[in-house]
Structure 1
Amino acid sequence: MSAANGRTPATRTVVEELLRRIGEGDPERIAGLYAERGDWKLSWPEDEHGRSATPWIRHRSTRADAAAHYRELAAHHRPGAAATAIERVLVDGGDAVVLGEIRQTAAATGREYR
């Protein structure tokens, strides 16, 4: 994401925009904030989730992969049965960490998790 003057906007601004877009739920707009190429690993042991039960949890490396992640996440969860609580956004220069809780309900089982 580039500012009009060609400089990259402040990290906190980008994080806030990402969270806003995630809340809106449009995978393409969310992915627009991701780099074209990257190394995005969702770490969750294979024996605990299985690839077929949680297809959204896998390694991603492109902006298109990021959009696919949000599409898959939506496709495998019950609409309107999710909640997110952001507790804190920590920023140090170009690095940021978002702390909070995400709750979802799996469409296949009706089981809620966080």
Structure 2
Amino acid sequence: MDFRATTENFLTTLAGGDADEIAALFAERVDWKVYGSPDVPWLGHCTTREDVADFFRTMLGGFAPEGRSAEIDHILVDGPNSVVLGEITQVIKANGQAFTSPFALHLSGEEGLITRYHIYEDSFTIAQAATAEANHPEESLSIAR
């Protein structure tokens, strides 16, 4: 399986929202980088497939299903590496705060499994949304374009 197929399968599975199905796409050991504020409950270090399942379970559980979207602008593949560029919009379940952030996701893999997950996003905006007091649904945070 070429790595484009692995990447597209990951994105489709991620959209489905099942943390265990997402984690099944990862190798037993993973090189993981998700930067941001310790105030964001799902951030943390992952090294195993079990950690990955916990990460996605916590992260996806922290978002309201409504108002969730992702736009993929580009998928660039070079051998066992891919970079996915796009923009996400989410609503924090605990406070109703929406945010929009561009992202770049670097994945690598071996034998059809993901071995590297490094995501770069507007962690400041995400931390602001996660720590904000309850807001009105029409309010949202976004970086200036």
**What's the TM-score, normalizing by structure 2?**
0.65
Higher strand share: 2
Q: Any stretches of 5+ residues in structure 2 without a counterpart?
A: 101-145
User: How far apart, in 2, do the equivalents of 1:26 and 1:103 lie?
Assistant: 19
**How large is the Cα RMSD of the aligned pairs?**
1.1
Matched letter for residue 19 of structure 2: P
**2:40 is the counterpart of 1:59:** no
**What's the TM-score, normalizing by structure 1?**
0.82
Match of 2:87 among 101, 106, 109: 101
User: How far apart, in 1, do the equivalents of 2:52 and 2:93 lie?
Assistant: 21
SS of the residue corresponding to residue 85 of structure 1 reads strand
Q: Any stretches of 5+ residues in structure 1 without a counterpart?
A: 1-8
Contact 2:3 2:77 in 1 (8 A): yes
Measured after TM superposition, the shift of residue 55 of structure 1 is 1.5
Alignment map for 1:1-114 (pairs within 5 Å): 9-44=1-36, 49=37, 51=38, 53-114=39-100
Q: Which 10-residue stretch deviates more, 78-87 or 12-21? A: 78-87
Partner of 1:3: none
User: How far apart, in 2, do the equivalents of 1:95 and 1:74 lie?
Assistant: 25
Q: Report % sequence identity.
A: 37
Contact 2:66 2:91 in 1 (8 A): no
SS of the residue corresponding to residue 47 of structure 2 reads strand
Which is bigger in relative contact order (C-alpha 8 A, separation at least 6)?
2
